[in-house]
């Protein structure tokens, strides 16, 4: 032998599994930079806006106490918090009790998705094979993914804390509240890191992580409903339970966060232990074998099969929101009747207050339904870019039929979800108000507002048909209709001109007015037809 | 007999890029037609125009007697397509994808489908996201070959297949041709095209630069002849003077020369005077034909002459 191979230096072997994590972290943060900013600003701004709304709605102790009595019920507790400080319900106690969970859930979702995105998804599209062939250790992606998620979670917590300084709330309590949110995010990042080792696919890993969030939310809901002020064992099995047990602004205790941090450490350790036991690109759970022969044979069936998880999630979220709104209708009525100052604001009485609240929420749900429709066509756009639409159109499948299948699925999901949401909201309102007229009213309201979502769907079809590379415009338009619909009253006149939901009659607060509904319906059909014409004329993008 | 594919003067631009620049392509019924050209020459664009996925800017395009854009659906009943880079639905198994494509076509021959799945050794129960490149290709091949169609459009159909599967592919295409189907086969595997195709079209920068049967194309180029003779210098002097003879070199007792096909008679007539002991003549391979069309590009790529 004339040449010899230099032995691998022992030092390299020792720190091998972690080598390269800094580079991967920089890569992850660069990929996520806009996402992190958007999440942080959106969450912090919504928290600030909600606290301001509490401030202006509940100016005196009597009003706040009425609110406390309302939130004490098990149904409200399940959707709020453990109920610290209900006897002296300050704005701070209200913020922690009613808002805390709703900051924690999105942050937890963000953490789960961030970890899967950086840990597991690159293994599926082959990126991490290139990366791992470099001098990069086996554990480096885990470290980078977890730290990227931690940075994102920390950014949301930090931004929220900074904006909360602009309120009258005690900064110490705000710091604890934000720290509690961050700890939930860290725990779920740890859960997701374990899930990424166990699940067979990146999608499966995300699903496991999101399921863990669902289980955590349910455990604390049942626990807090059984034992107020975090006294139930079930509450202490949930990351949300630990973080809510800190009771910011009331008891201001930091120690429950230690539970969350300890669990995070255990989960991260478990993830590192598991990563050494699995093959690159597969999980510890064996991949399942599917059908050798398919039963799928229609375009609508294919679109549904591709998107059913997302569509079911959207529909369930919309219907659950409707249930929540309907079930507090009784409380709204009681609240208005209990306070003469507020009652004066509603000349039509408590029934008028319920009508305007349900009308507003129905429009809000229609905006969500429009966003859901946007995801269906966005997925269709993704299928085209991936080359799968070309595959289908090389068969005897007319372009019109393919696009109509996507549009039809979206329209069907929008209309059915809205009608079910109206029915559920109405039934819940009827139960709590001991009235029998709300089902009819709210189903009609949902039907009218769903036409607005169909107009948005039409706009999406036009963009897909004529300028598919500009599909982002659809999301800008959905966001615009949302803001214009929800805040149209306080925005300058004319801002909501292009928002279909604002132009439609706001049932049941306003009387039915057929012309705008029919115009919107015709517009939706015309926009869809226009989009079809464009799609028939253009080249496929790939 | 009319042409199954008749393309004349086809132009297709993407923005400022002229992907197809007056392309001519004619495929007769029942033939296997090789479609050659390097990456970016416009092969896939041509096939996508033939499928009606892209709209032609200029030129006449007829497919099975119809207009590929206007009559797309009717034509697609009579053809099947295999793309070069198959993307499958990640959450559908290979079997589900094959059957979905078949149902949307109006039905596959189930016997032929199962037979092809078995012959290509494809596990149809695996999800699309888990297949390797070659296995994704097999899914598209099975879906296309199990369909009862007159025309197969194949765009680098065997990329990612192993040599055994490559051999099976050639066998299956021969069967299809024997059943009277027409095949347009775009490929980089020149040996594959040479084995299967009766006629070829070589394209370059969106234009056809050579088209015809392999024999016709060979006639346009030179045969390499190596003759072992007793009087090599004498042979060299005599042969170098003949029209259509090029690059005559001598190495010991061997004369090496390139001969245009119409000069072969004269060369064979001249050789016996110098005492022929051995004679090797090899006609140009498809690779030689292809590389000849691209000789200037090879020069810019700095590939030395001897390696061509």
Q: What is the per-residue pLDDT across B133-180, written as a single tens digit (0 to 9) for each?
A: 999 999 999 999 999 999 999 999 998 899 999 999 999 999 999 999
Question: Which tokens is A533 given?
Answer: 């014409």
Mutation site, A126, A279, A293, A302, interface B, largest B CB count within 10 A: A293
Nearest in space to B52 (alpha carbons), one of B37, B64, B40: B64
Structural contact between residues A146 and A268, judged by C-beta atoms closer than 8 angstroms = yes
Which ranges in chain B are annotated with CATH 3.30.70.120? 222-283
Smallest Cα–Cα separation from A459: which of A530, A409, A389?
A: A530
B155 contacts B124 by C-beta, under 8 angstroms: no
Can you tell me the distance from the alpha carbon of A134 to that of A317, in angstroms, rounded to the nearest whole number?
A: 43
Q: Do B96 and A293 touch (CB under 8 A)?
A: yes
Which residue is associated with the tokens 């001969």? B259
Q: What is the predicted pLDDT for the residue at B69?
A: 93
pTM check: above 0.90: no
Q: Is A80 helix (H, G, I), strand (E, B) or coil?
A: coil
Which of left, alpha, beta for A349 (phi over 0: left; psi -120 to 50: alpha)? left
The helix/strand/coil state of B89 is coil
Which residues on A lie below 8 Å from B20 (Cβ)? Answer: none
Q: If you write DSSP's letter for every residue of B205-248 in order, what string do you get?
A: TTEEEEEEEHHHHHHTSEEEEEEEES-HHHHHHHHHTSTTEEEE
Judging contacts by C-beta atoms under 8 Å, the chain B residues touching residue A392 are 101, 104
Mean pLDDT (chain B, rounded): 89
Mean pLDDT of B265-272: 90
Does the domain formed by B222-283 have CATH 2.40.370.10? no
Q: Is A519 exposed, middle or buried (0-12, 13-18, 19+ CB in 10 A)?
A: middle
Q: What are the CA-CA distances from residue B121 to residues A389, A527, B117, B118, B162 (Å)?
A: 27, 48, 6, 5, 12
Q: How many CB atoms lie within 10 A of CB A255?
A: 9
How buried is B252 (Cβ within 10 angstroms: 0-12 exposed, 13-18 middle, 19+ buried)?
exposed
Residue among A489, A492, A411, A424 at smallest CA distance from A456: A411
Other beta carbons within 10 angstroms of residue A336's beta carbon come to: 21
| Contact assignment for B93 to A290 by CB distance below 8 Å | yes
Compute how many other C-beta atoms are within 10 angstroms of the C-beta atom of residue A312: 12
CB contact under 8 A, A298 and B103: yes
CA distance A199 to A38: 29
Q: Are B2 and B25 in contact (CB under 8 A)?
A: no
Cα(A58)–Cα(A54) distance, rounded to whole angstroms? 6
Nearest CA in chain A to B107: A297
Ranges in chain B annotated CATH 3.40.50.300: 3-215
Indicate the CATH number for domain B3-215. 3.40.50.300
User: What 3-state DSSP class applies to A203?
Assistant: helix
Residue in chain A closest to B68 (alpha carbons) equals: A394
Residues 127-186 of A with CB under 8 A from B: none
- Bridge partners of B280, per DSSP, are B226
In whole angstroms, give the CA distance from residue A402 to residue A397: 7
- Digit-by-digit pLDDT tens for chain A (542 residues) are 456 666 655 444 445 777 888 888 998 899 889 889 988 998 898 888 888 888 887 888 888 888 887 787 776 787 788 989 888 999 999 999 988 998 898 899 899 989 988 888 888 777 777 777 777 788 888 899 999 999 999 999 999 999 999 999 999 999 999 999 999 999 999 999 999 888 877 878 888 888 899 889 888 888 888 888 888 888 999 999 999 999 999 999 999 999 999 999 999 999 999 988 887 777 777 667 788 888 888 999 999 998 888 888 889 888 988 887 887 777 777 767 766 666 666 677 778 888 888 998 899 899 999 999 998 998 899 899 888 999 999 999 999 999 999 999 999 999 999 999 999 999 999 988 888 899 999 999 999 999 999 999 999 999 999 999 999 899 889 888 987 887 766 667 777 888 899 899 999 989 999 999 999 999 999 999 999 999 999 999 87
In chain B, the residue whose alpha carbon lies closest to the alpha carbon of A398 is: B73
Q: How many residues does chain B have?
A: 308
CA distance A140 to A132: 9
Which residues, listed in sequence order, are joined to residue A98 by a DSSP beta bridge? none
Percent of chain B with pLDDT over 90: 56
pLDDT at A156: 95
Within an 8 Å CB–CB cutoff, is residue A405 touching chain B?
Answer: no
Which residues in chain B have their CB less than 8 angstroms from residue A202's CB? none
Handedness of CA A300, A302, A308, A311 (dihedral sign): negative
Return the pLDDT at A132: 74
């Amino acid at each position: 032998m004339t040449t010899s191979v230099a032995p691998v230096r022992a030092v390299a072997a020792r720190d091998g599994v972690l080598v390269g994590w800094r580079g991967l972290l920089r890569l992850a943060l660069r990929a996520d930079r806009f996402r992190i900013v958007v999440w942080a600003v959106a969450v912090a701004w919504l928290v600030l806006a909600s606290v301001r709304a509490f401030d202006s709605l509940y100016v005196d102790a009597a009003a706040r106490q009425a609110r406390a009595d309302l939130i004490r019920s098990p149904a409200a507790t399940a959707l709020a918090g453990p109920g610290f400080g209900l006897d002296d319900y300050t704005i701070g106690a209200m913020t922690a009790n009613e808002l805390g969970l709703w900051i924690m859930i999105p942050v937890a979702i963000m953490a789960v998705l961030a970890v899967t995105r950086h840990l597991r998804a690159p293994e599926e599209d082959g990126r991490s094979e290139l990366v791992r062939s470099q001098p990069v250790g086996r554990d480096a992606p885990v470290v980078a993914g977890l730290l990227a998620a931690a940075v994102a979670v920390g950014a949301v917590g930090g931004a929220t804390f900074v904006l909360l300084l602009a309120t009258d709330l005690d900064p110490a309590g705000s710091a604890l509240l934000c720290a509690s949110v961050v700890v939930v995010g860290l725990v779920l990042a740890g859960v997701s890191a374990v899930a990424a080792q166990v699940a067979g696919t990146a999608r499966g890993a995300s699903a496991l992580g999101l399921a863990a969030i669902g289980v955590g939310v349910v455990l604390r809901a049942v626990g807090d409903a059984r034992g107020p002020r975090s006294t139930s064992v079930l509450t202490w099995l949930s990351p949300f339970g630990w973080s809510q047990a800190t009771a910011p602004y009331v008891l201001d205790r930091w120690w429950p966060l230690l539970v969350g941090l300890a669990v995070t450490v255990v989960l991260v350790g478990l993830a590192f232990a598991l990563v050494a036991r699995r093959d690159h690109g597969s999980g510890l759970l064996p991949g399942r074998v599917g059908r050798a022969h398919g039963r799928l044979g229609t375009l609508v069936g294919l679109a549904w099969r591709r998107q059913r998880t997302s569509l079911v999630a959207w529909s369930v979220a919309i219907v659950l929101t409707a249930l929540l709104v309907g079930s507090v209708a009784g409380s709204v009525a009681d609240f208005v009747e209990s306070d003469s100052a507020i009652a004066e604001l509603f000349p039509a009485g408590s029934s008028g207050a319920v009508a305007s609240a349900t009308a507003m929420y129905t429009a809000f749900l229609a905006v969500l339904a429009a966003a859901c429709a946007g995801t269906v066509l966005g997925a269709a756009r993704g299928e085209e870019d991936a080359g799968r639409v070309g595959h289908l159109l090389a068969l005897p499948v007319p372009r019109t039929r393919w696009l109509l299948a996507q549009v039809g699925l979206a329209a069907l999901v929008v209309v059915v979800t809205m009608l079910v949401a109206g029915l559920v909201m109405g039934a819940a309102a009827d139960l709590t108000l001991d009235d029998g007229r709300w089902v009819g009213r709210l189903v009609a309201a949902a039907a009218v507002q769903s036409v607005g979502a169909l107009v948005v769907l039409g706009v999406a079809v036009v963009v897909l048909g004529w300028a598919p590379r500009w599909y982002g415009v659809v999301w800008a338009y959905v966001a615009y209709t949302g803001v214009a619909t929800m805040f149209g009253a306080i925005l300058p006149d004319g801002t909501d001109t292009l928002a279909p939901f604002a132009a439609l009659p706001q049932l049941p607060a306003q009387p039915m007015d057929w012309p705008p509904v029919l115009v919107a319906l015709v517009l939706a059909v015309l926009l869809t037809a226009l989009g079809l014409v464009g799609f028939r004329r253009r080249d496929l993008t790939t | 007999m009319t042409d199954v594919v008749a393309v004349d003067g086809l132009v297709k631009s993407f923005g400022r890029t002229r992907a197809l620049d007056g392309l001519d392509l004619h495929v007769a019924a029942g033939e296997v037609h090789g479609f050659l050209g390097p990456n970016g020459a416009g092969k896939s664009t041509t096939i996508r125009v033939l499928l009606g996925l892209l709209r032609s800017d200029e030129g006449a395009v007829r497919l099975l007697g119809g207009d590929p854009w206007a009559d797309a659906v009717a034509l697609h009943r009579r053809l099947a397509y295999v793309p070069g880079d198959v993307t499958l639905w990640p959450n559908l198994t290979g079997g589900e994808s094959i059957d979905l494509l078949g149902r949307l076509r109006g039905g596959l021959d189930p016997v032929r489908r199962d037979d092809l799945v078995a012959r290509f050794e494809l596990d149809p129960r695996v999800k699309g996201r888990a297949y390797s490149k070659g296995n994704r290709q097999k899914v598209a091949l099975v879906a296309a070959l199990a369909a009862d169609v007159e025309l197969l459009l194949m765009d680098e159909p065997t990329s990612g297949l192993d040599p055994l599967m490559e051999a099976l592919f050639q066998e299956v295409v021969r069967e299809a041709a024997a059943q009277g189907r027409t095949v347009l086969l775009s490929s980089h595997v020149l040996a594959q095209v040479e084995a299967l195709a009766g006629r070829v079209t070589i394209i370059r920068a969106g234009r056809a630069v050579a088209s015809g049967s392999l024999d016709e194309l060979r006639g346009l180029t030179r045969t390499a002849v190596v003759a072992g003779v007793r009087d090599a210098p004498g042979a060299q002097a005599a042969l170098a003077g003949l029209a259509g003879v090029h690059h005559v070199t001598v190495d010991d007792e061997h004369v090496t020369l390139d001969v245009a096909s119409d000069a072969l008679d004269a060369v064979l007539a001249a050789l016996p005077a110098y005492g022929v002991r051995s004679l090797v003549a090899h006609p140009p391979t498809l690779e030689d034909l292809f590389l000849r069309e691209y000789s200037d590009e090879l020069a810019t790529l700095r590939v030395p002459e001897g390696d061509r």
